[in-house]
Amino acid sequence: MLGKLIGFEIKLHTRQVGFWITLVIMALLGFLVMSTDIISISGGGGERVKANGAITLALQTSVLSLLSIFFGAVFVVTGIMRDENHKALEMIHSTPVSTFNMTMSRMIGVYVATFLCISAAVVGLFAGQFAPWADTETFGPINPIYFLQPTFLYIAVNTLLISGFFTAVAAITRNRALVYVSAVGLFILYMISGLLVGQDAPDLLASMIDPFGSNALAITTQFWPAAEQNTTMSPIFGYIGLNRLVWGGIGLVLLLGAFTLFKRGLVTRKTKVHIEEDIRTTGRIQLMPAPVSLKIANTLSAFWLRFRYEYLTTVKSIPFVILTLLALALFGITIFVQMTVLPDPVLPTNLQMVRTVLGSTAIPLMIILVFFSGEIIWRDKTAGITEILDASPVRNWPLMAAKWLALIGVVLTIIGVGVVFGMICQMVIGDVPVDVGMHVKWAFMAFAPRIVLFCFLVLFIQNFMPNRVVGMIASAAMVIFFFFIVGQLPFSHPLMRFGAVGVGGSSEMSGFGNLLRFGWFLTYWASLCAVFAVLSIWLWRRGLQSSLLARMSGLGKRLNIASLACFVVFLGLFVGSGGYIYKAYNIDNTFYTTKQNEKRSVRQEELLLGAFKAPLPKIRAVDVDVAFQPSKRTATVKGSFIIENTTGAPLVDLYVAPASAHEEDIKELSVRGATRVTEYDNLKEIEDFGYRIYRFDPPLEAGAKTEMTFETYFHERRLGDGSLIRTNGTFVNNFAVLPSIEVGDPRMQNPDKRRKYGLPELEQRADRTDLEARQNNFITKSADYVDFKSKICTEIGQIPITPGKLMREYEEGGQACREYQAINPVLNFFAFISADYTVKRDVWSNPDGKDVDLAIYYHKTHDYNVDLMLAAMKNALGTYTKTFGPYQYHQVRIMEFPFASFAQGFAGTIPFSENIGFARDPGDPEDNESVDLATYVTMHEIGHQWFAHQIVPADTKGFNVLSEGLTENASMVAYEEAYGWQKARRLLDQRAIQSYLTNRTIDRRAEPSLAEAGNQQYIVYNKASWVFWGLKQYMGNDNMQAAIRGFLEEYGTKGAPYPTTKELVAALRAHAPEDLQGLITDYWDRITFWDLKFGKDISVKPNTEGGFTVELTAIVDKKIASEETGKETSVSEIDGEELSEWVEIGFYKEDPKKTLGDEWLSLERVRLTQAETKLSFDLAERPAYVLIDPKRLLIERNVKDNSRKLETSDLATNE
């Protein structure tokens, strides 16, 4: 009997339309993930990390298994709870089937249906390998085991957990809505668990708190190189095995426990005994005619009553209350983590608070939409009153509008609760005054509109579906498609991205970024939603007329003049606004889809590669006049370049890139002695790529000079064509507003895309020994140091700023103007800024008597860290001047600008975004777990005044190490001087160690050695910082910094030939002793990893001198990684290699984790030449902990076995 029932249950689920729709969707999802780059899960695959590699598939499978939350809830309702849903409790109660068989068969049916739905994605993944368009280079050897193992390890176990959880909920509550709500709740709890764990949680806790196994997998494999990810499957022991065992066991317990909770028939809750005391016969019934009125007042009254019923029924329901409480918990935990747990927390400003609170709810709200749309739309049918409503004298539109607006009201209620909660939290945890207007504006302009538009979409879909379940599946599919997928399609256009009405960024300094776009796209999508509403009114499901065909057959009777007029108006508005948007993007401007841009990139490389490689003249002087009009968001930029022909040969053709793509905005662009070419091979295409060709006749002789004059108008923001000018906080650089005389790199950078389009392997930057390449610096090939002067004007009330010494300040033509001039030549790299600033000034007393003026220009309410940043400026200038040499400018200015999250160091002038320092919490200076980014970024950008403006790297391999890497070293030195070693060590962990080890595992490009690094940030910032940290501990800080100072004195501000890492490494080697030369090779010239740990036994015994002798075995291995695959090979397997490693061992009384390896009893440095070395140390005090490489000097992936607690039982006392 049980077998037959199980077969019946499986057939019941698998013959449903919704089941097959789900299978197709999931299989297609997996197919697209594997065969295209449209959808990316876990970073996707490439030439290095294969798309069908073992760990890539395991990560994708574990993530996809999250969808079991949705499917499990649906199948439990349609399977476990179907008797109550179909009013068949009495019938089932009367059957001879045992409760065990009935319940077990239904549980197995739910499990199988859910498992099959998720597994369809794995089938799609496998099939995607054979797609004819798939890039075969992104695949490794096909191994079915790589697909099967995660299917059973993650999908099978997670389905068991989900089935057990929802079955238990169904057994306890007997409430369909609560089952759906529990799905939303489970997802929210999953998000909360991830937030609670934090980044410093113990690995065991972080692994176990995630019921789906993704955390355990990520922790276990977090630093695996590409080669290991491709061929090594998820370990079934350790954290992963324990997680699977525990959560699978919980799922099994829940399923078994559900048996005791299930009851049959009507006896599902308390019953009452009814005693028939008085039986009366029914008398004669007299029917009285009831007047019917369809006047507007009655219709509106019916709408209002129905809306109140739908809305209040929902918000007063237990499911809604539970969801609201969970949402509040999510809000609270998110704020707690963002504001207190993170090592560099944000300040609870108005904008940050509302974004933090509501930003965490976008996905949960979408799930709520899917579930509650089905609940509200199908409520009448569930209650069995559809026929009654059909007979009522009420039009369709108030019935439908009431339901639709009720769902919108529910969503807005949750958003409103979030806004109020955020303001309360802001008042409790911070000192920033609450700006109610900002909270409300962001919530209901930047966040809510898209959610509301999705309400219309899911309700429209539900109206045309045959039942609730199919409606929820279809709604979920469309939400996922429009929310996550459509923007990744190669042919995606803004007109396709449903509900994407963004305000163009938001800032406390400058408000919303693009309200023009917001208005047009809101009109476009809202009018489409209105069309949805009219269609739904015409085809509203009423009474027994539930099939779509039946409703369509009676459509003519439902049409009237008013609804037809509305339909025509809204459809016209939709088509008209869409047409205008299309014209603005595709006709008035040049919008290209992703696919079109890729093809253009291929053609651009074919057409312009020669011009890119050609020798260029050099700009020698820049004179510029900038006039901003922030209120109009316009600007005019005019000026001139003095250009010298430094190519060594007569110059005939000069490629010029105007500052604007609009011909009418280029008021003047001329080159003395040259005319614009009007006939040339492929000239139209060249100009389409943004270049003009000017021809000298006669050619410009070598060494001769000419002048370029230009004037460009930058227009106000237009739809499809943004403006560089902000109403407050404009920041542009010379590459954005001045013409250029060089061709930018036209080559496609993505190696997988290059292979796709048949392009040759990307040519790397020139070798460091290439003297011709060393004639060009990393900023631009068309200039060295230049003479610079400028006049910059803006509207009165704002302050115009650019690099150079302020020479004059005045008003002219109703504008505030300033003139600046660089006293010494500077790089051809300038910023132009205008904003309404409050200014705080100070002076740094230079030991040589040439004091430096300091100023911070900031938004008037953003004074939180201004004093801290001024102190950081002084500390940095003092440290760098003492360590590296004199500061070369007369001033340092920091200017706040909106929207972005970066800072940039120009000559004596540093634009600094509001989000990265001005609105960050610097933390407690005494707390070694906190990171002060406001101070660090200030120090970093001032460091660029030495390393980027004095040491200017050549445009060769390793170039950015001389800019960013040396600056990281300088800022770490200043930060350590300001805050101490422990705070610097904490910063190293966050910014360097974790970032390098993590990002190298997902890089699609080959990882070069540090000395030959390209522009991968995880190398030039993170690894470089780690290497300098280690090297200064080994060499001694003063010694290493002296080497860098000598390098700077030899190559700084000298111009071409520019220095490379070859000269830097030579300087370091010259200052390092012989026994550290091998370490420098490992650090700089190859990719090296160490593996350090202790042997099993460590003894601590009293010695004859009154102290203690510690005997231990140090185990060391050194591995060299391949640049192409990341495969690591031990030096024991490489001919000619041997171990000779200086390693530090620290002994501690307290757990060294608390002090980040600091405060040791004793620190010993030993040289290890064998894989295992027995060591003995005499200590004055008895240690409780021992730690190998406590300062993190060596690049090691796994340090979890570096520390050992010495058990008390093993420690003898010396008495």
Quick one: pLDDT band at residue 270, thresholds 50, 70, 90? very low
Asked if the model's pLDDT at residue 135 lies above 90, the reply is no
Quick one: pLDDT band at residue 46, thresholds 50, 70, 90? low
Q: What is the pLDDT of residue 272?
A: 46
At 424, the amino acid letter reads I
From its phi and psi, is residue 1110 left (phi > 0), alpha (psi between -120 and 50) or beta?
A: beta
Asked if the model's pLDDT at residue 826 lies above 80, the reply is yes
Report how far apart, in Å, the C-alpha atoms of 832 and of each of 601, 735, 745, 1100, 1155 are. Answer: 30, 11, 24, 65, 44
Question: Taking Cα atoms as reference points, which of 1011, 1009, 989 lies closest to residue 1000?
Answer: 1009
- State the Cα torsion 37-38-42-46 to the nearest 10°: 0
Distance CA 282, CA 285 (A): 8
Asked if the model's pLDDT at residue 938 lies above 70, the reply is yes
Percentage of the chain beyond pLDDT 70 is 94
Question: Taking Cα atoms as reference points, which of 937, 841, 825 lies closest to residue 889?
Answer: 825
DSSP letter for each residue of 775-796 = GSBSS-SSEEEEEEEEEEEEEB
Comparison of pLDDT for 128 and 48, the residue scoring more:
128
Which residues on neighbouring strands pair with residue 389, listed in sequence order?
none
Question: Taking Cα atoms as reference points, which of 1168, 789, 1149, 1000 lies closest to residue 48?
Answer: 1000
Query: Do 889 and 907 meet the contact criterion of CB atoms below 8 Å apart?
Result: yes
Asked if the model's pLDDT at residue 285 lies above 60, the reply is no
Question: Taking Cα atoms as reference points, which of 1197, 1202, 1159, 1204 lies closest to residue 1181?
Answer: 1159
User: What's CA 349's distance to the chain center, in Å?
Assistant: 21
Contacts of 810 (CB under 8 A, 6+ apart): 817, 818
What is the CATH class of 1086-1215? Answer: mainly beta
- SS3 for 898? coil
953-1084 and 834-951 share a CATH fold: yes
Report how far apart, in Å, the C-alpha atoms of 208 and of each of 214, 306, 726, 1170 are. Answer: 10, 47, 48, 38
DSSP letter for each residue of 595-652 = HHHHHHHHHHHHHHHHHHHS---EEEEEEEEEEEETTTTEEEEEEEEEEE--SSS-EE
DSSP 8-state class, residue 233: P
Distance CA 356, CA 345 (A): 12
Query: Do 877 and 970 meet the contact criterion of CB atoms below 8 Å apart?
Result: no
Task: Copy the structure tokens of residue 475.
Answer: 């709604």
> Beta 891-897 vs 909-913: how paired, if at all?
parallel
**What pLDDT digit, counting tens, does each position of 211-236 carry?**
898 888 988 888 888 888 899 999 98
Q: Is the overall model pTM greater than 0.95, yes or no?
A: no
- SS3 for 698? strand
| pLDDT (average), residues 788-797 | 97
Rg of the chain in Å (alpha carbons)? 35
Contacts of 660 (CB under 8 A, 6+ apart): 666, 712, 713, 714
DSSP letter for each residue of 438-462 = HHHHIIIIIIHHHHHHHHHHHHHHH
Question: Taking Cα atoms as reference points, which of 978, 967, 860 lies closest to residue 914?
Answer: 860
Asked if the model's pLDDT at residue 460 lies above 50, the reply is yes
CB atoms within 10 A of CB 959: 28
Asked if the model's pLDDT at residue 56 lies above 60, the reply is yes
Distance CA 648, CA 959 (A): 25
Domain 953-1084 in CATH 1.10.390.10? The answer is: yes
Asked if the model's pLDDT at residue 676 lies above 70, the reply is yes
User: What's CA 67's distance to the chain center, in Å?
Assistant: 21
**What pLDDT digit, counting tens, does each position of 583-619 carry?**
999 999 989 999 999 999 999 999 999 999 999 999 9
Q: What is the pLDDT of residue 1192?
A: 96
Task: Copy the structure tokens of residue 525.
Answer: 């999508």
Q: What is the pLDDT of residue 224?
A: 87
Distance CA 702, CA 707 (A): 15
Distance CA 341, CA 345 (A): 7
Asked if the model's pLDDT at residue 478 lies above 80, the reply is yes
Q: What is the pLDDT of residue 685?
A: 94
Domain 617-741+780-828 in CATH 2.60.40.1730? The answer is: yes
Asked if the model's pLDDT at residue 336 lies above 90, the reply is no
DSSP 8-state class, residue 918: I
Comparison of pLDDT for 1193 and 393, the residue scoring more:
1193
Q: What is the pLDDT of residue 275?
A: 45
**What pLDDT digit, counting tens, does each position of 167-206 carry?**
888 888 877 778 888 888 888 878 877 776 655 667 888 8
Comparison of pLDDT for 86 and 78, the residue scoring more:
78
| pLDDT (average), residues 362-369 | 84
Q: What is the pLDDT of residue 748?
A: 92
Comparison of pLDDT for 295 and 849, the residue scoring more:
849
Distance CA 225, CA 1182 (A): 40
**What pLDDT digit, counting tens, does each position of 532-583 carry?**
999 998 888 776 666 777 777 777 777 889 889 999 999 999 999 999 999 9
Question: Among the ranges 278-292, 650-664, 1003-1017, which has the highest mean pLDDT value?
Answer: 650-664
Edge-first strand order for the sheet with 1185-1188 is: 1162-1168, 1141-1148, 1185-1188, 1203-1205
Contacts of 1180 (CB under 8 A, 6+ apart): 1106, 1107, 1108, 1161, 1162
Q: What is the pLDDT of residue 444?
A: 93
Report how far apart, in Å, the C-alpha atoms of 16 and of each of 12, 458, 470, 474 are. Answer: 7, 21, 9, 14
Asked if the model's pLDDT at residue 380 lies above 70, the reply is yes
Question: Taking Cα atoms as reference points, which of 1177, 1208, 1011 lies closest to residue 1103?
Answer: 1177
Quick one: pLDDT band at residue 263, thresholds 50, 70, 90? low
Domain chopping of the chain, boundaries: 2-261, 296-587, 617-741+780-828, 834-951, 953-1084, 1086-1215
Angle (deg, nearest 10), helices 966-979 and 866-884: 120
Query: Do 942 and 958 meet the contact criterion of CB atoms below 8 Å apart?
Result: no
CB atoms within 10 A of CB 385: 12
Query: Do 570 and 610 meet the contact criterion of CB atoms below 8 Å apart?
Result: no
Q: What is the pLDDT of residue 454?
A: 95
Distance CA 107, CA 261 (A): 13
Distance CA 416, CA 327 (A): 12
Q: What are phi and psi of 355, to 5 degrees?
A: -70, -40
Q: What is the pLDDT of residue 314?
A: 85
Give the H or E element holding residue 702: none
Would you call 740 exposed, middle or buried from its count of C-beta atoms within 10 A (0-12, 13-18, 19+)? buried
Could you list the beta-strand ranges (E) of 672-742.
Answer: 674-676, 692-700, 705-714, 730-733
Question: Among the ranges 6-20, 418-432, 1037-1051, which has the highest mean pLDDT value?
Answer: 1037-1051
**What pLDDT digit, counting tens, does each position of 1063-1115 carry?**
999 999 999 999 999 999 999 999 999 999 999 889 999 998 889 999 999 99
| Alpha helices (H) in 80-175, listed in sequence order | 82-85, 89-93, 99-128, 144-150, 157-173
**What pLDDT digit, counting tens, does each position of 1151-1202 carry?**
999 899 999 999 999 999 999 999 999 999 999 999 999 999 999 998 989 9
Flag the least confident range among 92-106, 965-979, 1048-1062: 92-106
Would you call 225 exposed, middle or buried from its count of C-beta atoms within 10 A (0-12, 13-18, 19+)? buried
Task: Copy the structure tokens of residue 774.
Answer: 């060393």
- CATH level 2 (architecture), domain 834-951: Orthogonal Bundle (1.10)
